[in-house]
Amino acid sequence: MLERLWNGWRSSYVSSLEPESDEPGQGSLFTRILATGLSDDETNIVHRGPHCFVILNAFPYGTGHLLVLPYREVANLHDLDLGETTELWSTVTDAVAAVTAAYAPDGVNVGLNLGRAAGGSVSEHLHVHVLPRWIGDGNFMTAVANTRTIPEPLDETAAKLRTAWPRLTQS
């Protein structure tokens, strides 16, 4: 089993969200984050577009782990409308550019887990993972102690990625 190091700085973020409810209509974790009215700095939202937004993974595999998703809560790619589909994939491209500019990784993983059986932990609200990777990033802590270390607080990661986010050029 993979262990995690205790990160006390995460408690303010976790406690700022409404607790999950079994009542219908409460929405996914992402819908609830958006509904809090908290600032993008407080929620670690890195970018907002008309149909999609980008947020840091609260429990990242590594530094710079982004999630790109539509505002509208849908479970499947075929549930997206044309505007959402177009913006989702262009935003994924921008997210790869941002993590590449901010962190100069050796590679980038991009992927979706559609449905709980595929590993989707929030399967009711599709999201694309964008994760910078480095040769040797599965270090001794993962191999020996079954633990991942995240060396940078999420607010610092968010600030770096916002600065590195591609800007539209005016013609």
User: Which residues are annotated as catalytic?
Assistant: 127
CB atoms within 10 A of CB 18: 12
Query: Across residues 26-48, what is the average pLDDT?
Result: 94
DSSP code of residue 171: -
DSSP string, 61-128: SSTT-EEEEESS--SSGGGS-HHHHHHHHHHHHHHHHHHHHHH--SEEEEE---SGGGT-TTTTS--E
Q: What is the pLDDT of residue 128?
A: 95
How many degrees, rounded to 5, is the angle at CA 171 between CA 93 and CA 45?
A: 35
Q: What is the pLDDT of residue 76?
A: 93
Q: What is the pLDDT of residue 46?
A: 97
User: For the chain, what is the mean pLDDT?
Assistant: 82
Q: What is the pLDDT of residues 50-102, one digit of tens each?
A: 999 999 998 888 899 999 999 999 999 999 999 999 999 999 999 999 999 99
Distance of CA 60 to the CA centre of its chain: 8
Q: What is the pLDDT of residue 75?
A: 92
Q: What is the pLDDT of residue 19?
A: 46
The set of residues, in sequence order, having a beta carbon less than 8 Å from that of 97 and lying 6+ positions away, is: 164, 166
Q: What is the pLDDT of residues 93-133, one digit of tens each?
A: 999 999 999 999 999 999 998 888 777 678 889 999 999 99
Q: What is the pLDDT of residue 58?
A: 86
CATH superfamily of 29-164: HIT-like (3.30.428.10)
CB atoms within 10 A of CB 67: 23
Where residue 25 falls among pLDDT bands split at 50, 70, 90?
low
Q: In angstroms, how far is the first alpha carbon of the chain from the final one? A: 53
d(CA 132, CA 129): 10
The residue extents of the domains of the chain are: 29-164
Q: Are strands 147-148 and 128-133 parallel, antiparallel or unpaired?
A: unpaired
